[in-house]
Structure 1
């Protein structure tokens, strides 16, 4: 155990949120164990990695036994099918496996789940804006609802607490995590520029005009650590976002200027069909610019991009509860966009 006396198990630590969280935990002197589906090919100075398939219950329980005296569980894992289809039963079973393995550990203090704006039906159609944690659940089945009920039930009568956080469109720096809005837009812009075209918005006018909120990954990890350790946040649900709202129409010139391009209005199309046809152009661009990744399919899930950009209604959330309970951090979204694109360029992931 480190000097902090805290040991984190990050379930699903290889994705965008997991990587940012591990950096934050390491900076705060936590001992860290992370899980991922595949056997790790590298050794990390900041944390230990366990290969874990949560859908193989027996093997997963055995692997989780290697984690030791965990104090905090951060559950970030997702089970999905190709085409950005997230499976309800598999995601509930994954959490069940983790809880059954760890819920009676004497050391356990907190279990945290990361959900999102889909809690409020954000992908189903227009919903009450800004969304509030007190809004009633929708009369639909969703694994968020099942997981939330499960963690609350398993905590009952035990000594540990729980929290759930609901970010939206988490924005940060990561590779190997194709459901990544900022990297997807950066790759789209780079390929559009390579074709000599203006930067059009690849969805509808309604989606271009809708009011949105997003969540910076570093802000989210600060909120995660706060919610996992502050008694004021015990057994609570929190929306987490940058604190401002915007429309794509407002920030599209910011994207265009970052690539030295002229912004253009909406031109709806399916990126999942168009972008794979440009795989060879990306390879040429990667070779010419010396980029770190030359395979387009490993960088971006275009089904995710289509689904994220398609929503033609407002998607905002209230942060009143988060503020009342003591977390007040905020991020300027326009500045965040430029910072993230700059970082991807410096890392040789996007062309300059």
Structure 2
């Protein structure tokens, strides 16, 4: 079966290559599943409810470590590092990937601050960017899940499973997905379509929101995904009975966090390969979607990026999900520097 006919089987009727890409993009950008919309609406309603339950607003002192240094009076459990960055100017808003709280704890830019603190904004050009790179890689996996979840026609059974903790040295970011296709081997054209969809999604500049919710709410959000519901009890047990959710556009998922601030931080993106995994999970084959990406602020020549793409095609060494053992990323929202 040709690559175009193979892809059309899952994404549409047989058509010319350029038409295929255009129609597929149009479908992805204009058609989001009802389940995604339901999850998104629940997330928004819960975020609003939590905001209204804050009660009397207390003030906190936030000292930003420079350059520039500044002392800000912000609102406890309401103001975020992103709000603080806006007081310093567009440069800090645009480039900050993740915040560093009190010189030791990574903090998501859209997560409300719980108390007075010292705050530093980390970006991709800092002298030791390891923690920023891991935050970026984690975000790429999350966004790959967003793209894959809406890339196939409704008659293809698809359930997002999980993604391993970010490891830049592995050569690729990944998302493991249960897909109702036996022995699917994507062609170059099919991978190109997925890459374009991810680029277009990120170019919409979705803020990446986050929310801590209780276990029962998490069950309601993911009631249609048996893998997520199976993972929730263990996640909550290790996180004060809370589950941390992230949202970009209509896509909602579970992750330890933190993520980068906005989808437009991603620049060059390639979905390099999809490989069927050998796993004992029931319900259908598990495929590992693998990709590579660069922050928009990082420029790399075509030859060097091609080497990165080739490495991203090799099966990622991250843990393979199974019935036994840890199958989800640790959900501690506040990530220590060693992570």
Q: What TM-score does the superposition give when structure 1 sets the normalisation length? A: 0.26
Which structure features the higher share of helix residues?
1
Which structure features the higher share of strand residues?
2
